[in-house]
C-alpha cells in the first residue's frame, strides 16, 4: 500500500478538503483520512517498529482506507477481515497470516477471541478502535514475497483461503477497469460489497482512491439505501454481485433511478442475460459483465459501448496482458467455441495463498492458474463462463447441469433470480429444486415446467420442485450462498411434506 499512501499524501497536500469517503458516519476529506493514517502509523512505529503485518476489521467506512494508508506508510502488509467473522475463522487467520497487530473495535476483538497473550499491548486508535499488538519484534514483511494485501475467501469448499495480492496487481486491475468503463478523475464510486473481500478492497476502495474520487458506502447492504446513496452522491460506477444488482431493480421506485451511472459492473456469481436486461431497463443504466476472482482480479470485462447481447450474454475480453484459455481434461487447448476448463495468467495473478505466514500457489508448468470454472472462448474473442466444473445434480445416475437449468428458468419474464439445488431423495439420490425470486407470487411448478416445455427444454432438465422466496440466501459479500440455499430448500421440502 506504499504507492497509495504516497498518492493520498500528495492529494492531501494539494487539495486537503477534497472528499475521500462518504459513509454512514458522514463525509470525510482526504486531509482528515491522511491525518488519521499518520497517527495510526506513528502508533505502529511506537509499538512495533519495522514493517508490520496488520489484520484490520474491514468495515465500509473511512477507517478501512485510513488503516490501509497507515500500513502503507510503514511499508507493511494489510490483512482485511470481516467484522462478522467468528472466533474459529480468526483462529485460522492467525495460523495462516500470523499478524503482528490487530485493529478492530473492542467488541469485535472479543468476538474474535483475540487473546491478550498474543496481543498484550493495546492502545486506542481511529476514534475509539483498539490497536492490539504483539509488542514486537515485528515479523519481516519480506515473507510475503511482494504481497501487500491479504483477505480471506471461503472458496467453493473446504478450509477458507487467505489470498495474497500485490499492490501492482491491484493497481493493474483498477487501471484496466477505469479504462474499460471510461471513468474520469474525481468520479464517485459506490463501495457496497464488504471491503473484507479482495475484489471489494481493490474495486471498491483502492480504485476510487487511485481515481481521486469519493468512495461512497453504506454500513450494510440494503437495496433502498444503496439506490439513495448512488443518486444523492452522483455515483458514476459500482461493482456488485448479481444478486445485489437484481435486488436493486425490484425495489419500489427503482425505475430510472440509476440513469446517472456510466455503468454498473456485475460479476462473482451466476448471471442470466434476460434477467440482467430487465434490470438495466428498469434502473436506467448500462450493465456490463466481468469475470474475475480473488486470485486474478477482474481479469475480463465487457464495455459500456458494446451491444446488449455482448454485454449481458458474455463475460468480456481479457484485460490487456491477461490470457484466458480453455483446456480439455488432458490439458490441451480446445477448439474455439468449445467448452473447456478455464485457466488464466496475467498481471493481476495473486502472489499465493497464505499458509503459516507466507504465500504458496500451484500453477501449471507454463504459469496458468486453473480456476475451477467451465469456459467457452467465443469466435469474437469474448469468453463465456458456464459455471463451476463440478456443479451438478446426480438424479438416479443421470447428471443434471445446474447452470443449464438455472439459465432456462431465468428466461421466465417474471423471474428476477433463481437458484437450483439438489434435495435428497431415498430412491433417486438427488432431485432438482428451484428457489425463485419472482414478481409472480402465484408461480407454480406447473407454470415453470409449462414454460420450459414451450421453450423446448428436455424434461430431464426440468426442476421437480419450485419454491417462491423473497430473496436468495447470500454470504457476507453478497454472493449467492449455495450451502444456505440447499438448507432452505430442504427445509421447505420438509414443510411441504408435513
What DSSP string describes 322-348? -EEEEE-TTSPBPPTTSEEEEEEESTT
Handedness of CA 414, 417, 423, 429 (dihedral sign): positive
pLDDT value, residue 263: 96
Domain with CATH 3.40.50.12780 in the chain: 1-387
Residue 495 burial (CB < 10 Å; 0-12/13-18/19+)?
A: exposed
* Helices 167-181/2-14 angle, 10° precision: 60
In terms of residues, how long is the chain? 498
* 368 in Cβ contact with 359 (< 8 Å): no
Distance from C-alpha of 419 to C-alpha of 403, rounded to nearest angstrom = 9
How far are the Cα atoms of 36, 146, 198, 317 from residue 345, in angstroms, in the given order?
A: 37, 18, 17, 14
For residue 424, what pLDDT is reported? 82
Determine contact, residues 498/428, Cβ cutoff 8 Å: no
CATH class, domain 392-497, is alpha beta
Cα–Cα–Cα angle for 78, 359, 106, nearest 5°?
Answer: 35
- Taking the chain, what is the end-to-end CA distance rounded to the nearest angstrom? 56
What does the block give as the cell for 166? 500485490
CA distance 447 to 389: 30
Which is nearest to 8 in space by CA: 23, 24, 21?
21
Handedness of CA 194, 198, 199, 200 (dihedral sign): positive
Q: Report the predicted TM-score, pTM, of the whole model to 2 decimal places.
A: 0.83
List the chain pLDDT tens, one digit each, 498 residues: 999 999 999 999 999 999 999 999 999 999 999 999 999 999 999 999 999 999 999 999 999 999 999 999 999 999 999 988 889 889 999 999 999 999 999 999 999 999 999 999 999 999 999 999 998 789 989 999 999 999 988 644 457 889 999 999 999 999 999 999 999 999 999 999 999 999 999 999 999 999 999 999 998 899 999 999 999 999 999 999 887 888 899 899 999 999 999 999 998 766 778 889 999 999 999 999 999 889 999 899 999 999 999 999 899 999 999 999 999 888 888 888 888 899 999 999 999 999 999 999 999 999 999 998 888 899 888 998 877 666 778 776 677 878 788 888 989 999 988 999 888 876 677 889 999 999 888 899 999 999 999 988 888 889 999 999 998 988 776 777 877 888 898 899 888 766
Asked whether 157 and 389 are in contact (CB, 8 A), the reply is: no
Q: Which three cell numbers stand for residue 355?
A: 499458509
- Cite the beta strand spans of 1-76 per DSSP E: 19-23, 26-29, 53-57
Q: Note the pLDDT of residue 385.
A: 85
Read out DSSP for 423-455?
A: EEETTTEEEEEEEEEES-TT--HHHHHHHHHHT
Judge whether 371 and 344 are in contact, CB under 8 Å.
Answer: yes
- Burial class from Cβ neighbours inside 10 Å (0-12, 13-18, 19+) for residue 289 reads buried
Spell out a b/e string for 325-351, using b for 16 or more CB atoms within 10 Å of the CB, else e.
bbbeeeeeebeeeeebbbbbbbbbbbb
- Closest alpha carbon to 268 in 310, 305, 296: 296
Task: Report the distance separating Cα 218 and Cα 229, nearest Å.
Answer: 8
Q: Looking at the chain, which residues constitute the CATH 3.30.300.30 domain(s)?
A: 392-497
- Top-tier CATH class for 1-387: alpha beta
458: which residues sit within 8 A by CB, 6+ positions away?
none
Structure confidence at residue 21 (pLDDT): 98
452 phi/psi in degrees, rounded to 5: -65, -35
* Contact (Cβ atoms closer than 8 angstroms) between residue 333 and residue 326: yes
Amino acid at each position: 500500500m506504499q504507492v497509495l499512501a504516497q498518492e493520498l499524501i500528495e492529494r492531501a497536500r494539494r487539495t486537503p478538503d477534497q472528499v475521500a469517503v462518504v459513509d454512514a458516519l458522514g463525509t470525510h476529506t482526504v486531509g482528515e483520512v491522511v491525518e488519521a493514517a499518520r497517527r495510526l502509523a506513528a502508533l505502529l512505529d511506537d509499538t512495533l517498529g519495522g514493517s508490520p503485518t496488520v489484520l484490520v476489521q474491514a468495515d465500509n467506512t473511512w477507517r478501512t482506507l485510513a488503516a490501509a494508508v497507515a500500513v502503507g506508510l510503514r511499508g507493511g502488509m494489510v490483512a482485511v477481515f470481516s467484522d462478522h467473522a467468528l472466533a474459529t475463522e480468526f483462529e485460522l487467520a492467525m495460523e495462516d497470516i500470523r499478524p503482528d497487530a490487530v485493529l478492530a473495535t473492542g467488541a469485535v476483538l472479543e468476538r474474535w477471541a483475540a487473546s491478550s497473550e498474543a496481543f498484550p499491548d493495546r492502545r486506542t486508535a481511529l476514534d475509539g478502535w483498539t490497536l492490539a499488538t504483539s509488542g514486537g519484534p515485528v515479523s519481516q514483511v519480506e515473507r510475503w514475497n511482494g504481497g501487500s494485501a491479504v483477505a480471506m475467501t471461503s472458496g467453493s469448499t473446504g478450509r477458507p483461503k487467505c489470498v495474497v495480492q500485490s499492490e501492482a496487481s491491484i493497481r493493474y486491475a483498477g487501471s484496466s477497469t477505469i479504462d474499460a468503463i471510461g471513468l474520469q478523475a474525481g468520479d464517485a464510486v459506490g463501495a457496497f460489497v464488504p471491503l473484507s473481500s479482495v475484489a471489494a478492497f481493490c474495486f471498491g476502495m483502492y480504485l476510487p482512491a487511485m481515481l481521486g474520487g469519493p468512495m461512497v458506502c453504506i454500513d450494510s447492504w440494503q437495496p433502498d439505501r444503496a439506490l439513495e446513496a448512488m443518486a444523492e452522491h452522483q455515483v458514476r460506477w459500482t461493482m456488485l454481485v448479481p444478486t445485489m444488482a437484481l435486488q436493486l431493480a425490484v425495489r419500489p421506485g427503482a425505475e430510472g433511478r440509476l440513469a446517472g451511472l456510466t455503468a454498473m459492473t456485475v460479476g462473482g456469481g451466476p448471471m442470466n442475460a434476460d434477467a440482467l436486461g430487465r434490470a438495466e431497463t428498469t434502473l436506467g443504466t448500462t450493465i456490463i459483465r466481468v469475470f474475475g476472482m480473488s486470485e486474478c482480479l477482474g481479469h475480463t470485462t465487457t464495455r459500456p459501448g458494446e451491444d446488449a447481447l455482448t454485454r449481458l450474454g458474455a463475460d468480456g475480453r481479457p484485460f490487456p496482458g491477461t490470457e484466458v484459455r480453455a483446456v480439455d481434461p488432458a490439458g490441451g487447448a480446445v477448439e474455439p467455441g468449445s467448452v473447456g476448463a478455464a485457466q488464466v495468467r496475467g498481471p493481476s495473478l495473486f502472489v499465493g495463498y497464505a499458509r503459516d505466514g507466507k504465500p504458496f500457489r500451484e500453477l501449471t508448468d507454463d504459469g496458468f492458474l486453473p480456476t475451477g470454472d467451465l469456459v467457452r472462448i467465443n469466435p469474437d474473442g469474448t469468453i463465456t463462463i458456464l459455471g463451476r466444473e463440478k456443479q451438478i445434480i446426480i438424479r438416479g445416475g443421470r447428471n443434471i447441469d445446474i447452470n443449464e437449468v438455472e439459465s432456462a428458468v431465468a428466461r421466465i419474464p417474471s423471474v428476477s433470480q433463481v437458484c437450483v439445488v439438489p434435495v435428497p431423495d431415498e430412491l433417486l439420490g438427488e432431485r432438482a429444486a428451484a428457489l425463485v425470486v419472482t414478481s409472480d407470487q402465484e408461480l407454480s411448478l406447473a407454470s415453470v415446467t409449462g414454460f420450459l416445455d414451450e421453450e423446448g427444454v428436455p424434461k430431464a432438465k426440468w426442476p421437480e420442485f419450485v419454491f417462491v422466496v423473497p430473496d436468495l440466501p447470500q454470504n457476507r459479500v453478497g454472493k449467492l450462498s449455495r450451502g444456505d440455499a440447499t438448507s432452505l430448500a430442504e427445509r421447505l421440502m420438509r414443510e411441504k411434506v408435513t
